[in-house]
Structure 1
Amino acid sequence: MTEATESTKQPPKRGLQNRHVQLIAIGGTIGTGLFMGAGHSINFAGPSILFVYLIIGLFMFVMMRAIGELLYADPSQHTFITFITRYIGNRAGFFARWSYWLTIVFMGMAELTAVAKYIQYWLPNVPGWLIQILMLIILTSINLVAVALYGETEFWFAMIKIVAILALIMTGIIMALTGFKTPVGDVSFGNVFDHFTLFPNGVGNFINAFQMVMFAFVGMEFIGMTTAETDNPRAVLPKAINQIPWRILFFYLGALFIIMTIYPWQKIPADQSPFVMVFQLAGVKWAAALINFVVLTSAASALNSVLFSASRNFYALAFQSKAKFLQPFRKMSRTKLPVNAVLFTALMVGFSAIISVIPAVTNAFSFVTSASTDLFLMIYVLILIAYLKYRKSDSYMADGFLVIAPKTLVPAAIAFFVFVFITLFFNPESRVPAIGATIWLVVFGLVAMRQPKTLTK
């Protein structure tokens, strides 16, 4: 983006505090995948799933440090996607900014659909489309009032998830230390290592576990956009990025370890929530309702973050395009919020309410949502390439928030994300969405090639 274009941009109000950023980053990454899908991933890899989380956590940390270094060098940016345009070129930027925005919107549609299903657990007679509309109105209103209100809402959404995980960990430790017995066996830390092998269900299942776990981490990059809206981005950014990955790994690894301590990993069913099973074994009769409440707040939190992130990306997108229909989305409200971008994003996400009442469209929507999720891997690769180009540019800040061993770890992270994408084609469940994402790459890539190489005012 040229300097002239940058100068016309009004910065959104910086109303987030460090505590908001810390909890948003944790809450935004720990989603329903852990609470509902942990049994599925353990079923694939057994105790080795801990290594999978560690490896993915390492490479996601590398990517976050790269995003952090870019934002530290230029804290005026409110989305890391602009760096792809700046350092790789407008064509790659065009592909990234539209793909990323649409991907986040599809994620929001999926989360809105999930919210309705979780609420119907208590209100089965209320139509899903009505619940979706009401929830969307509430969260959109929060995003239109003030950045601080969004931050406060996310803070408490995240706190609910964190308390649930800590309760699970503490329950498991107490049960193990007191020799608690359950219908499925003794609670013991030894359950995790009993008959341990690196590939208990074969190398193929171990590799497939990477793609399952990878998508549990999707959304971690939202921290870049939240940090940019704090009062002092350069002070908050290093703390947030250095602390969050390890805290997330603690919550993930701690929860999974305790689940396998209480419930022998060989017996954990793939189609049930281990959290529900564990709390039921501990004598909590209303465990199903408890976890349903947790995943409801988790989905609502993800949807809230989608509205925040997608609107900021669309606001930036409006400044990176000459298209007349995008010009109204440059508007800021009196409270310095990208009001039109928020409203348009909410409108797009709201289409899920229509989709939910048209059965013929539902399957196609599921396919598009799955395919778009795969695009995150492409965006991660592009941002890492942009980072490598930034290091060779005149903008490089040698005394900034630097990536550790960038010449080794950044190319390794790129190779890893490519590896995960390739593995999608070898799993029957992920193959078709992966083909869809590849088609998107080719078709939309050709459209991007028709764009000018550089942006002008």
Structure 2
Amino acid sequence: MENNENKVQRGLKNRHIQLIAISGTIGTGLFLGAGKSISLTGPSIILVYLIIGALMFILLRTIGEMLYTDPSQTSFLNFVAKYISEKAGYFITWSYWLVVVFFAMAELTAVGSYVSFWLPQFPVWLSEIIFLVLLVGLNSLNAKFFGETEFWFGMIKIVALVGMIMTAIILGFSGFKSEHVSVGLSNITQGFHFFPHGLPKFFESFQMVMFAFVAMEFIGMTAAETENPRPTLKKAINQIPIRIILFYVGALIAIMSIYRWQDIPANHSPFVMIFELIGIKWAAALVNFVVLTSAASALNSALFSTTRNLYALSKLNGDHILKPFTKLSKNGIPLTALLFTSFLVLFTPLISVLPGVSNAFVFITSVATNLFIIVYILSLVAYLNFRKTSDFDPKGFVTPFAKGLVPLTIVAFGLIFFSLFFFKETLIPAIGSVIWIIGFGLVSKFRTQKP
């Protein structure tokens, strides 16, 4: 009989993974990054969200199809080793572990920003540490506690976004006006230009929008944690297009109809600002609480995902130095892996003092976006190879029009990655990602395979 020393605990139910799928997609990239992306290209940012959303849906369908075929896999990353090579699998699994650490750093940066709304004199680094310790405590209990925490975090996000959309509708129909605000779709349509600040700014917005979508694949990381993975996974992925239209596009239209997009500052959350500008101070505090829990939620998911990933890597590679990370607590939690990952995330406050880093949030999200793209491209290549094997089930959860759409998605992700070399704020992270690809790629190629 298998005991907890050899088995990660399965404690997530259908309602948990449905909300986790939302929690991984609605986070800081939208709540905090929307101001930055809107300021770059105005209302045409909606088109950017739809493009990236379509690409991510195709990616999720390919991941879902492979996991549906073999739900025993603990991670979608395992398919890269299975369908490309062991060395490629080694590269992508460690790269993904690193990228989720950066993702967690970005979310922790946002937490500090939101806490400053209430406590401007309180040290940002201290608020970040407190939140991280609390979430580590929750993650150390068991998978059920994680699922419940994420379920209610997800509920708060949904209520907040629906509330924002309903606010825009009510204010629009009531003809609300004030000294600073005149609500209506005319804020979007009046003097509309696809590229109000030029084509380069339009393409620059892809990085922040891409970051708003990364982590959608967390559903692949949590599939192994469910009691009945196949129907749960299928339902969660198929609902993604509806979520994109409702939560992302709906929220953006609401923001820009309440407040002129030209006046939305790039370095503040428009969700908080909107309620301040229409004079409802307590509502601004409420929204700040919502976006704070949103960042905490995404951080919670990141800790869960990267901890499981480090545990799986340590068991798979069998290196002596990694042996401590294969240990499970009596609750079936990879506690050592969780604590080590959290220790790395604690370096977040140091990012802002690095030379050449003017905006820590943009810098960290750029690093995360670059590495996520590499992971996504390798996953899509693995899928194309999967379709050529006997594992492919034409009667299963098949990705529609895969022969044309998957290669197109690979090219699109490649172009987004390439574009990051042309903008000042994303250049250093882009160069760093190339150094990682070459350096760790060589390590992966020439490492001695463990027996």
TM-score, normalization by structure 2: 0.92
Shift of 1:363: 4.8
Match of 1:29 among 5, 25, 30: 25
1:329 equivalent in structure 2: 325
Measured in 1, the distance between the counterparts of 2:22 and 2:301 equals 12
Shift of 1:298: 1.7
Matched to 1:247, the amino acid is R
Within 5 Å, which residues of 2 pair with 1:179-328?
179-184=175-180, 186-328=182-324
Residues 1:440 and 2:418 are matched in the alignment: no
2:44 equivalent in structure 1: 48
Shift of 1:343: 2.6
Shift of 1:9: 9.9
Distance 1:92 1:39, change over 3 A: same
Match of 1:142 among 138, 143, 149: 138
Query: Which string of whole-angstrom CA distances, capped at 9 and with x for unpartnered residues, describes residues 412-431 of structure 1?
Result: 11011001001111112211
> After the TM superposition, which of the residue ranges 26-35 and 272-281 deviates more from structure 2?
272-281
CA contact under 8 A between 1:35 and 1:291: conserved in structure 2? no
Measured in 2, the distance between the counterparts of 1:391 and 1:247 equals 28
> After the TM superposition, which of the residue ranges 271-280 and 377-386 deviates more from structure 2?
271-280
2:426 equivalent in structure 1: 430
1:399 equivalent in structure 2: 395
> After the TM superposition, which of the residue ranges 338-347 and 138-147 deviates more from structure 2?
338-347
Matched to 1:309, the amino acid is S
1:89 equivalent in structure 2: 85
Shift of 1:369: 6.4
Measured in 1, the distance between the counterparts of 2:99 and 2:288 equals 26
Gaps of 5+ in 2: none
2:102 equivalent in structure 1: 106
Measured in 2, the distance between the counterparts of 1:173 and 1:450 equals 59
Shift of 1:318: 1.2
CA contact under 8 A between 2:105 and 2:364: conserved in structure 1? no
Gaps of 5+ in 1: 1-7
Shift of 1:172: 0.7
> After the TM superposition, which of the residue ranges 30-39 and 431-440 deviates more from structure 2?
30-39
> After the TM superposition, which of the residue ranges 208-217 and 384-393 deviates more from structure 2?
208-217
Measured in 2, the distance between the counterparts of 1:21 and 1:186 equals 40
Matched to 1:194, the amino acid is Q
Shift of 1:125: 5.1
2:343 equivalent in structure 1: 347
Match of 1:377 among 373, 379, 390: 373
Match of 1:421 among 401, 417, 439: 417
CA contact under 8 A between 2:207 and 2:366: conserved in structure 1? no
Shift of 1:51: 1.0
CA contact under 8 A between 1:139 and 1:304: conserved in structure 2? yes
> After the TM superposition, which of the residue ranges 376-385 and 427-436 deviates more from structure 2?
427-436
Q: How many residues align?
A: 446
Measured in 2, the distance between the counterparts of 1:60 and 1:138 equals 31
Question: Equivalent residue of 1:401, what SS?
Answer: coil
Question: Equivalent residue of 2:370, what SS?
Answer: helix
Shift of 1:230: 0.8
Shift of 1:442: 1.1
Query: Which string of whole-angstrom CA distances, capped at 9 and with x for unpartnered residues, describes residues 114-141 of structure 1?
Result: 3244334434555444433332232122
Residues 1:409 and 2:439 are matched in the alignment: no
Distance 1:113 1:163, change over 3 A: same
Shift of 1:48: 1.2
Shift of 1:102: 1.3
Matched to 1:192, the amino acid is I
CA contact under 8 A between 1:26 and 1:248: conserved in structure 2? no
Matched to 2:163, the amino acid is A
1:4 equivalent in structure 2: none
Within 5 Å, which residues of 2 pair with 1:165-176?
165-176=161-172
Shift of 1:184: 4.0
Measured in 1, the distance between the counterparts of 2:388 and 2:55 equals 22
> After the TM superposition, which of the residue ranges 410-419 and 344-353 deviates more from structure 2?
344-353
Query: Which string of whole-angstrom CA distances, capped at 9 and with x for unpartnered residues, describes residues 176-219 of structure 1?
Result: 11111232453222332222232222222212222221111111
CA contact under 8 A between 2:150 and 2:300: conserved in structure 1? yes
Query: Which string of whole-angstrom CA distances, capped at 9 and with x for unpartnered residues, describes residues 310-345 of structure 1?
Result: 011111101221311112322233333223322322
Residues 1:177 and 2:173 are matched in the alignment: yes
Measured in 1, the distance between the counterparts of 2:219 and 2:325 equals 23
Query: Which string of whole-angstrom CA distances, capped at 9 and with x for unpartnered residues, describes residues 52-83 of structure 1?
Result: 11111101000000110111111111211111
Identical-residue share of aligned pairs (%): 53
Matched to 2:401, the amino acid is A
Measured in 1, the distance between the counterparts of 2:327 and 2:356 equals 34
Query: Which string of whole-angstrom CA distances, capped at 9 and with x for unpartnered residues, describes residues 397-425 of structure 1?
Result: 23221111110111011011001001111
> After the TM superposition, which of the residue ranges 308-317 and 187-196 deviates more from structure 2?
187-196
Measured in 1, the distance between the counterparts of 2:5 and 2:74 equals 11
Query: Which string of whole-angstrom CA distances, capped at 9 and with x for unpartnered residues, describes residues 238-282 of structure 1?
Result: 000010342133111111111222223334333443223322344
Question: Equivalent residue of 2:392, what SS?
Answer: coil
Distance 1:284 1:343, change over 3 A: same
Question: Equivalent residue of 2:281, what SS?
Answer: coil
Distance 1:37 1:135, change over 3 A: closer
Shift of 1:456: 6.2
